[in-house]
Amino acid sequence: MRQFPVEDGELVVGSQRLSTLAARVGQTPFYAYDRQLLVDRVRSLRAALPVGVKLHYAMKANPMPAVVGLMARLVDGVDVASAGELRIALDAGTPPAEVSFAGPGKRDGELRQAVASGVLINLESGREIAVLQRISDALGLPARVAVRVNPDFELKGSGMKMGGGARQFGIDAEAVPAMLQQIGGSGLAFEGFHLFAGSQNLRPHAICEAQMKSYELALRLAAYAPSAVCSLNLGGGFGVPYFAGEQRLDLEPIGANLQRIMARVQSEMPHACLVLELGRYLVAEAGIYVTRVVDRKTSRGQVYLVTDGGLNHHLAASGNFGQVIRKNYPVAIGNRMDAEDTERVSVVGPLCTPLDLIADRMELASAQVDDLVVVFQSGAYGASASPQAFLGHAACPEVLV
């Protein structure tokens, strides 16, 4: 992948050759995230967006504390989805004013921690209002709340749809006016709206359309709000290319569309700050998963490279994290990047299940035992989104380099 340089046939990650990095980590498998690539990504994204749009990191994409610590300094806020993530975000030094907490099924204890922390809570049910009223009274702190709206439209072409139709997320748009009235009499501090229509989208015009529709929906709902909207989170959904034939997201139309929305905000919702919350777009391409070849065997003409890690560490690369059709992630033999000698192989992990497939009949450099298999585009939904206890293998270390 072009974001990582190659030196003498070896991939370079965080200015270190892969074999040296593996020695430094002290074991395989491992995940490595490249600091400079994270910095560059935020910088180039900001350059493409209008000044004044706030950028939040949705940390469920990669909750490694060191990554969150770095991202917290680069972006304007962190979005969390559990009390565990809340603790990491606050430990990372994110100002509580810039943390927001979304997710269905927030437990009373989590809501209490959120109110005591002073973070913004995205309401996803009427029950949460009643619980927050009790907590706010008990703590003497009014909860800061926004309403997460389940829009009456979808983000077209999304890898995962999270809005439109019946959803467990947010409040149906048509039920929001009544909820706003309830908030008005509750003593809670209303701050705005949160909309999140979908994820992993590579179609800029679909994203633009969803953002404009989200803005217009928020504007209609603002008429029922108990106070001015000061925070308007339009979601994100920016995708990254994982598979052959996928193109990088073109940010130009998205920047231009946000510019049009900003212009409308100035006159129509003058107190509001626009927020985008992005997970994978910020971190996916900066990360790799590295696993070592422990065996090489041939079955009826098909070559298998058997590695020391697989779907237990990287469920998404095995095709079992929400994918409808399994496709190969970009994979390479990281210590043979210049090899001319290639062959068609399948890379499988050490688990006793045919699901443990990292590369299905891919053309890779001819590899031997001890070579290092690299899975690219692995900085998001990797270590924390995989069943690490499955089959009793050791957990996978992560390094930020």
Residues 6 or more apart whose Cβ sits within 8 Å of residue 365: 332, 333, 336, 337, 339, 341, 342
196 binding ligand PLP? (CB under 6 A):
yes
114 binding ligand PLP? (CB under 6 A):
no
CA distance linking residue 350 with residue 87, whole number of Å: 34
A 10 A CB-CB count for 289 gives 30
90 binding ligand PLP? (CB under 6 A):
no
Residues 6 or more apart whose Cβ sits within 8 Å of residue 268: 219
281 binding ligand PLP? (CB under 6 A):
yes
151 binding ligand PLP? (CB under 6 A):
no
- DSSP track, 181-216: HHHHTTT-EEEEEEE--EE-B--HHHHHHHHHHHHH
Contact 241, 202 (CB under 8 A): yes
Residue 100 CB, nearest approach to ligand PLP (Å): 9
Residue 169 CB, nearest approach to ligand PLP (Å): 7
A 10 A CB-CB count for 392 gives 7
Residue 284 CB, nearest approach to ligand PLP (Å): 8
Residue 55 CB, nearest approach to ligand PLP (Å): 12
Torsion angle of C-alpha atoms 389, 286, 277, 196, degrees rounded to 10: -60
Residue 79 CB, nearest approach to ligand PLP (Å): 6
Binding piece for ligand PLP, criterion CB under 6 A, among 208-216, 261-269, 272-280, 338-346: 272-280
Q: Give the residue from 2, 52, 9, 22 showing the smallest Cα distance to 370.
A: 22
Binding piece for ligand PLP, criterion CB under 6 A, among 93-101, 134-142, 195-203, 258-266: 195-203
Task: Please list every residue from 231 through 250 that binds ligand PLP, using CB under 6 A.
Answer: 236
Residue 255 CB, nearest approach to ligand PLP (Å): 17
Among 112, 203, 280, 336, binds ligand PLP (CB under 6 A): 280
Size of the site for ligand PLP (CB under 6 A): 15
49 binding ligand PLP? (CB under 6 A):
no
CA distance linking residue 291 with residue 25, whole number of Å: 12
Backbone φ/ψ region at 272: left (φ over 0), alpha (ψ -120 to 50), beta: beta
Residues 6 or more apart whose Cβ sits within 8 Å of residue 185: none
277 binding ligand PLP? (CB under 6 A):
yes
Overall residue count recorded for the chain in this entry: 401
Residue 103 CB, nearest approach to ligand PLP (Å): 7
Binding piece for ligand PLP, criterion CB under 6 A, among 53-61, 89-97, 177-185, 303-311: 53-61
Q: Provide the residue type at 244 as one letter.
A: A
60 binding ligand PLP? (CB under 6 A):
yes
Task: Please list every residue from 362 through 381 that binds ligand PLP, using CB under 6 A.
Answer: 380
Nearer to ligand PLP, 200 or 377 (CB): 200
Residue 328 CB, nearest approach to ligand PLP (Å): 20
Contact 370, 295 (CB under 8 A): no
Among 13, 21, 72, 278, binds ligand PLP (CB under 6 A): 278
Nearer to ligand PLP, 49 or 293 (CB): 49
CA distance linking residue 214 with residue 195, whole number of Å: 7
Place of tokens 């999304």: 158
41 binding ligand PLP? (CB under 6 A):
no
275 binding ligand PLP? (CB under 6 A):
no
> Which parts of 251-366 are beta strand (E)?
273-278, 287-299, 302-307, 331-333, 342-348, 357-365
102 binding ligand PLP? (CB under 6 A):
yes
Nearer to ligand PLP, 16 or 31 (CB): 31
Residue 61 CB, nearest approach to ligand PLP (Å): 4
Structure tokens at 267: 């006159």
Nearer to ligand PLP, 152 or 295 (CB): 152
Place of tokens 């994100």: 236
By the criterion CB under 6 A, which residues form the site for ligand PLP? 58, 60-61, 79, 102, 196, 199-200, 236, 277-281, 380
